[in-house]
């Protein structure tokens, strides 16, 4: 997904995971948020399982106002994220809890996320990077 606002910061590289039972913000992104948000971290309540099935304890949990959408159609919800130290090309994982709070419907086939706002329905479109392939020798 292209981006969202967390507190007053724009965050990109957000992964929508309809299977995840928790919402995750990775430490490298979390540490770039304002100090007043960082100061709100509370101890974790339970470990989380990663994509490969490994179990790890988060660094903490933090509740952040998240705004998705643009100036005309947006929605703000308070979400609790697990702060995780791990390598990832993503900054945030939005799981089932975030999708439920937003009333969002994701479509992986269409690369879209739709959710209701106070005025209408907002549609966020996945920002695809171009895929390049080079062949060093012709294949016949």
**CATH number, residue 52:** 2.40.70.10
Pair 139, 56: CB distance under 8 Å: no
Residue 124: pLDDT band (50, 70, 90) is confident
Cα(61)–Cα(27) distance, integer angstroms: 11
State the total domains in the chain. Answer: 1
Q: What pLDDT was estimated at residue 119?
A: 86
Q: What is the pTM of this model?
A: 0.79
Q: Are 42 and 59 in contact (CB under 8 A)?
A: no
In a domain, 12, yes or no: yes
Which pair of tokens denotes residue 36? 């007043």
Q: pLDDT of 16-48, one tens digit each? A: 888 888 999 999 999 988 898 899 999 998 888
Host domain of residue 105: 4-125
């Amino acid at each position: 997904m292209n981006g969202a606002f967390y507190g007053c910061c724009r965050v990109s590289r957000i992964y929508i995971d309809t299977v995840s039972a928790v919402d995750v913000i990775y430490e490298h992104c979390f540490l770039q948020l304002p100090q007043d948000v960082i100061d709100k971290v509370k101890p974790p309540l339970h470990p989380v399982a990663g994509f490969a099935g490994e179990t790890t304890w988060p660094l903490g949990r933090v509740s952040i106002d998240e705004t998705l959408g643009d100036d005309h159609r947006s929605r703000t919800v308070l979400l609790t994220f697990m702060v995780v130290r791990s390598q990832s090309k993503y900054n945030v994982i939005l799981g089932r809890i975030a999708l439920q709070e937003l009333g969002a419907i994701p479509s992986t086939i269409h690369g879209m996320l739709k959710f209701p706002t106070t005025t209408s329905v907002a549609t966020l479109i996945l920002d695809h990077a171009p895929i390049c392939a080079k062949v060093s020798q012709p294949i016949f």
